[in-house]
Amino acid sequence: MAELFGRDLLSLADLNPTELQELLQLATQLKSQKLQLRCNKVLGLLFSKASTRTRVSFTVAMYQLGGQVIDLNPNVTQVSRGEPVQDTARVLDRYLDILAIRTFAQQELETFAQYAKIPVINALTDLEHPCQILADLLTVQEYFGTLAGLTLTYVGDGNNVANSLLLGCALAGMNVRIATPRGYEPDPTIVEKTRAIAGDKTEVLITHDPELATKGASALYTDVWASMGQEAEADDRFPIFQPYQISEQLLSLAAPDAIVLHCLPAHRGEEITEEVIEGLHSRVWDQAENRLHAQKALLVSILGAD
């Protein structure tokens, strides 16, 4: 089991390569039911952004471990009335065993972690989405049997998913290529951290050419062109991002056995075509299921088993 007991997970950069691999191994064992663990703890979900997969997978994971979940919707708590983050954090610290936060600013997450003694998990911020990438890597590993040496290509907006994919792939020893329109590149600090982790062992490519990035790739990944909070920009972004759509044509440039991933929700006909997401190369539904198993492994690693 990964040595994460009592720790926060605010970024995938909080893990080292061994800890990442141990998390994925534990997730595999829990999914196959070769290992059954109990964790009678209380998880709080403080989500300021809409959520389907993250909310449900964390909830089911905790219930299956024998624990309990409290959904702390900001609209029905004092958070919505302006209670300071540090006050909320210090109070929840005395009620809960662990807290997963889904919010906009990474700084808000870090402030919670600063004032709460209990572990805090990044369930999504505008900067990173580490829990999603744990499931993504689990999906790739299930299909290919390994991660080291494979190439994952992400095309589209250089958003939180792209940022965390960079870090996750580097930790896993994978080549990672990110293709975005100009002006929509991943966070430069994340890119710098990724290059430091990867060193000379693996490729880290940031490009504006989706075809170059896709050639020979083992996994082809995309996300919506306008993330939560950017919906007003969607119409303006459409013509800019159209060349970055995962279509049959783009997929044909990848390796013959390549798989297609999407973190969902998907806008079919925009960032991905109907034919591709429903096609033989798609592993999108396995990827969504693996949110449950990856997060169960993360919770057990941080909280310990009874």
Tens digit of each residue's pLDDT (9 = 90 or more) over 201-214: 999 999 999 999 99
Question: Max alpha carbon distance in the chain (Å)?
Answer: 54
pLDDT at 250 over 80: yes
Q: Which listed residue (126, 136, 223, 281) is catalytic? A: 223
129 is catalytic: yes
pLDDT for 179: 98
Q: Is the domain of 167 the same as that of 257? A: yes
Q: Is residue 151 part of a domain?
A: yes
Confidence class for position 65, pLDDT limits 50, 70, 90: very high
Cis peptide before 84 (omega within 30 of 0): no
Known catalytic residue: 291? Answer: yes
Residue at 77 is within a domain:
yes
Rounded to whole angstroms, the Cα distance separating 133 from 190 reads 15
Average pLDDT over residues 143-147: 98
Average confidence (pLDDT) over 29-39: 94
For the chain, what is the domain count?
2
Range of the structural domain that residue 174 is part of: 132-287
CATH code for the domain of 192: 3.40.50.1370
Q: Note whether 117 and 138 are same-domain residues.
A: no
Q: Which of 97, 141, 263, 295 is catalytic?
A: 263
Looking at residues 37-51, what average pLDDT do you find?
95
Strands (E) across the chain are located at: 42-47, 68-71, 98-102, 120-122, 151-155, 175-179, 204-207, 219-222, 259-262
Which pLDDT score is estimated for 234?
77
Confidence of residue 79 (pLDDT cuts 50, 70, 90): confident
Question: What does the alpha-carbon distance between residue 223 and residue 124 come to, in Å, rounded to a whole number?
Answer: 14
Q: What is the DSSP letter of 187?
A: P
Confirm if 301 and 5 have CB atoms less than 8 A apart.
yes
Structure confidence at residue 226 (pLDDT): 86
211 and 282 part of one domain: yes
Least confident of 219-228, 258-267, 290-299: 219-228
Same domain, 153 and 276: yes
Provide, rounded to the nearest whole percent, the portion of the chain with pLDDT above 70: 99
Mean local confidence (pLDDT), 271-292: 98
Annotated catalytic residue, options 55, 237, 281, 291: 291
pTM of the model: 0.96
Residue 102 annotated among the catalytic residues of the structure: yes
pLDDT at 231 over 80: no
pLDDT over 90 for what percent of the chain? 91
* 296 & 250 share domain: no
Q: What is the pLDDT of residue 74?
A: 80
Band of residue 1 on the pLDDT scale cut at 50, 70, 90? low
Same domain for 189 and 63? no
209 labelled catalytic:
no
Query: Is a pLDDT exceeding 90 seen at residue 220?
Result: yes
In the residue annotation, 223 being an active-site residue is answered as: yes
Mean pLDDT score across all residues of the chain: 96
Contact indicator for 176, 205 with CB cutoff of 8 Å = yes
What's the average model confidence in pLDDT over 108-121?
A: 97
112 backbone φψ class: left, alpha, beta (φ>0; ψ -120 to 50): alpha
Identify the active-site residue in 8, 21, 97, 102. Answer: 102
Are residue 137 and residue 271 in the same domain, yes or no?
A: yes
Residue 259 pairs in a beta bridge with 219
Q: Which of 97, 131, 132, 287 is catalytic?
A: 132
Q: Is 263 a residue of the active site? A: yes
Measured distance between the N- and C-terminal CA atoms of the chain, rounded to whole angstroms: 14
Residue 175 has pLDDT above 70, yes or no: yes
- Specify the pLDDT at position 203: 98
Q: Is residue 1 a part of any domain in this protein? A: no
Of 96, 103, 102, 137, the residue nearest 123 (C-alpha)? 102
